Structure 1
Amino acid sequence: MRLARHIALILSFAAPAAAEDFSLSWPVDCTLGETCFIQHYVDDDPTSGASDYTCGSATYDSHKGTDIRLRSRAEMAAGVRVLAAADGVVLGLRDGMEDAILTRETEAKIEGKDCGNGVVIRHAGGWDTQYCHMKRGSITVTKGERVTAGTPLGEIGLSGRTQFPHLHISLRKDGAQVDPFDPDGQITCGAPSQTTLWDRDIPYSAGGILAAGFAPLVPSFDAIKAGTADEAPARDAPAFVLWAYAFGGQSGDIMRLSITGPEGELIRHDAVLDKDQAQFFRATGKKRRAPQWPAGDYEGRASLLRGGQIIAQTQIRADLR
């Protein structure tokens, strides 16, 4: 199905949404591409397959919203506000569900409550927005309350069916799902719609690097997801390690990692992904052979490559004295 869609096939599988004067403002108090990232889009494929509005793979089967994620649980704990995307009235809400990564053991607890803690807002013209996975105890609005675009609703959390802290925002018109990135429902592979419901330009994200850091040993994945793994090695550390945390990985992607110190390049490593991974980390490093690491400035670079092209990169520095 996906191959067919990539050869100029035009599909229409949703009633066109008349945008008229309706638009959405950015619903999270964050900087896109720096402190938050879009990891998943609406699944615009009506079959058992999955593809986003560009016919890309940044979605999964039957996903009905846009996922705006944070870099770590530490940032979630610090508090990142969820904002109303348009003027309206609070139609309903839920609070009190635990913020916890979903496991097979806890799945029964959320049955019928996949959204977790959340808010639904009714807008003029038959539009509704729904905000899911919010932090327990953070919701600040009440049912029936009138809000304007930008009104704080609560904070991003980890409630409901989720593996990472994020806001899932979904949009409906007269009860029917609408993709705000392609509201007319006409999918033209290779030439996505230039008309969206967002009040600003939002670049497409096919994957990205969430964070990178140094450490004296390869950290655990849980420490990286928690936001506690970045630790510049001391001069007598047993190893000098660079790690990078990313999302949207595809089989064949390369995570290129390098460390440069005061005496030149310390190490360079290309890690090839052998399967698609929604979120992942890779690390490289070098064991200490001398009594101490040389004093001075160290730079770490992480690049995510796909098809030989860099789709995301970051760099970090540390000063060893």
Structure 2
Amino acid sequence: MRKTFAAALILLGSGAAADPPPALGLPADCTLGETCFIQQYVDFDPGSGASDFMCQGLSYDGHRGTDFGLPSMRAMHAGVPVIAAAPGRVRGIRDGMADRLYTDDMAAELEGKDCGNGVAIRHAGGWETQYCHLRQGSVRVEAEQQVERGDVLGFIGLSGRTQFPHVHLTVRQDGEVVDPFDPDGQITCGAPSQETLWLDAPEYRPGGLLAAGFSTAVPSFDDIKEGIAGRTDLAPDAPALVAWGYAFGGRADDVMQIRIMGPEGEVFSHSTTVDKAQAQFFRAAGRRAPSGGWEAGSYSAEISLRRDGAIVDSMTTPLTIR
């Protein structure tokens, strides 16, 4: 576990020490790796490419924060609180912008409002945290209000320039973006800084699975992102048994393996290769019903995402046929 970053104390003329940076908690009331996922980090590439603090691809050109995403629109509608990562005073808020998927024709309309609905909080020593893409009408705080770590600011939404529900956290000192995972900005590939701004630094994941499920046909990507594609019960006369996995941070040559297990053992196994880097993607595979229908009982889908022969992430989801 990497320790919290402690900036060198600068002695002032009065003998007082400079204010330390804020120690950050998570900006959302969720469980990382289960109900929310870090899908993008600060971009360290000074050119037109993108690279996160681990010299890997979980970023995009010019990205200035850390994105804590939800697995589905259904989770967003259910409500996931955005919370203050550290104590401070609210510098400003915006609310009232609609929750909708960004498309290129919205660029002019969103000029200067990419953050969507959001909250900015001032901390001591010139530090600031900003929370973007909150749900319309959900902002709970006012300008100049004092907040404590964990106080609810609003709810994760889809406002501003975004294509998936998440809260984007930007950290700044004196107006300059600071990556809370590598605050000194000195990148050494394969050896990230041992000092961070986090109270408890989240584990880096180079991609992973957001969700998995069963259906009777290959589902639409829209239904998967909405969170309505999965089935937990099917009848023996279901026309087919299809398992799918929904993932983020895919790279060319990643392999998603889909394995369906039934009452008598393996029903189906299939592997598919990702042909290009993809921020989010899904794969599905299955088989048609056998003559006489499916045997009643407990089934499971075992989904794994592999990279260079190693498992990046895996997920198992159950199904009952009765």
Shorter-chain TM-score bucket reads: over 0.9
Residue in structure 2 matched with residue 155 of structure 1 by the alignment? 155
1:93-242 equivalences under 5 Å are: 93-231=93-231, 232-242=233-243
1:83 corresponding residue in structure 2 = 83
TM-score, with length taken from structure 1: 0.93
Instruction: Name the residue aligned to 1:266.
Output: 267
Distance 2:219 2:235 in 1: 15
Distance in 2 (alpha carbons) for counterparts of 1:234 and 1:165: 33
**Distance in 2 between residues matched to 1:134 and 1:17, nearest whole Å:** 31
Contact 2:21 2:124 in 1 (8 A): no
Deviation at 1:125, TM superposition (A): 0.8
The aligned counterpart of 2:48 is 48
Q: Which residue identity is paired with 1:233?
A: L
Q: Is the 8 A contact 2:115 2:159 kept in 1?
A: yes
Q: For 2:57, give the aligned amino acid.
A: S
Task: For 1:148, give the aligned amino acid.
Answer: E
State which drifts further: 137-146 or 21-30.
21-30
Find out whether 1:310 has 2:283 as its counterpart: no
List per-residue Cα deviations over 1:246-303 (Å, max 9, x = no partner). 0000000000001011122111010100101100000011011323210111011000
* Equivalent-residue separation in structure 1 for 2:288 and 2:145 (angstroms): 59
**What is the letter of the counterpart of residue 201 of structure 1?**
A
SS at match of 2:97: coil
Q: CA deviation at 1:320?
A: 1.3
- On the 8 A contact 1:223/1:229 being kept in 2, the answer is yes
Of residues 130-139 and 22-31 in structure 1, the stretch that sits farther from structure 2 once superposed is: 22-31
Q: Deviations over 1:140-178 (max 9, x none)?
A: 000110101111000000001101000000000011110
Cα 1:20/1:144, change in 2 over 3 Å = closer
Quote the Cα distance in structure 2 between the aligned partners of 1:262 and 1:218: 23
Q: Aligned partners of 1:149, 1:104: CA distance in 2, in Å?
A: 36
Instruction: Point out where structure 2 has 5 or more consecutive residues left out of the alignment.
Output: 1-5, 9-18
State the distance in 2 between where 1:54 and 1:278 align: 17
CA drift at 1:109: 2.8
Aligned equivalents of 1:197, 1:248: Cα separation in 2:
24
Tell me the CA shift for residue 206 of structure 1.
0.5
Residue pair 2:247, 2:281 contacting (<8 A) in 1 also: yes
Q: Which runs of 4+ in 1 moved over 2 A?
A: 16-22, 104-109
Task: Give the aligned residue type for 1:228.
Answer: I
3-state SS of 2:301 partner: strand
Q: Is the 8 A contact 2:117 2:159 kept in 1?
A: yes
| Structure 1 residue 21: Cα displacement | 5.2
Whole-Å separation in 2 of the counterparts to 1:201 and 1:40: 15
Distance, in Å, in 1 between the alignment partners of 2:7 and 2:88 is: 18
Q: 2:224, 2:110 → 1: CA distance?
A: 26
The structural deviation recorded for 1:83 is 0.3
Measured after TM superposition, the shift of residue 108 of structure 1 is 3.4
Q: Is the 8 A contact 1:127 1:171 kept in 2?
A: yes
Q: For 2:168 and 2:289, locate their aligned partners in 1 and report how far apart those are by CA, in whole Å.
A: 44
Letter in 2 for 1:34: E
Post-superposition offset of 1:17: 6.5
Secondary structure in 2 aligned to 1:76?
Answer: helix
The match for 2:291 is 290
* Structure 1 residues not aligned, in runs of 5+: 1-15
Residue in 2 aligned with 1:9? none
Contact 2:7-2:21 within 8 A present in 1 as well? no
Alpha-carbon spacing, 1:17–1:110, altered in 2? closer, same or farther (3 Å): farther
Residues 42 and 17 (structure 1), Cα distance of their counterparts in 2 relative to 1, 3 Å cut: farther
* 2:33 equivalent to 1:71: no
Take 1:100 and 1:69, find their aligned partners in 2: how far apart are those partners?
A: 15
Letter matched to residue 45 of structure 2:
D
- Indicate the RMSD between aligned Cα atoms, in angstroms: 1.4
Percent identical pairs in the alignment equals 57
Q: What's the TM-score once normalised by structure 2's chain length?
A: 0.92
How far, CA to CA, are the matches of 2:51 and 2:21 in structure 1?
28
The structural deviation recorded for 1:22 is 2.4
Deviation string 1:13-35 (CA, Å, 9 cap, x unpaired) is xxx97683521111100000100
Give the match's secondary structure for 2:108. Answer: helix
Matched, 1:245 2:246: yes
Deviation, 1:113, is: 0.8
Contact 1:17 1:185 in 2 (8 A): no
